[in-house]
Amino acid sequence: MADYLDQMWRKINRDPKLQAALRRRAEATAARATAISRAEGGTANYSIRTGIRPGGRAYADVVSDNSEEEQGTETVRRINALRRAARGG
């Protein structure tokens, strides 16, 4: 039974429809993050990484090229565009 469930888990996570849905969600989050960043005067660009984790789960990550803008520093104001976009902001 466990083998059957493991096979089903792997099959579902490799399904192109699931991966496409994850990618669409990531693209929407990246677009919102870009809009928030630009509205706040930021310059960050966002990219998407997709794949299968070692445990077999499919993923789509949105990555910023400007961690200083996301987290803030003494000289760069924190915008948190990616965090806000992921939370629906």
pLDDT tens string 1-32: 778 888 898 899 999 999 999 999 999 999 99
pLDDT (tens digit per residue) in 35-68: 999 999 999 999 999 999 998 899 999 999 999 9
pTM for the complete prediction?
Answer: 0.86
Alpha helices by DSSP H, listed for 14-77, are 16-39, 67-71
Q: What is the per-residue pLDDT for 26?
A: 98
Of 72, 86, 88, 74, nearest to 40 (Cα)? 72
Domain ranges of the chain: 2-86
Beta bridge partners of 49: 61
Q: Looking at residue 89, what is its pLDDT?
A: 67
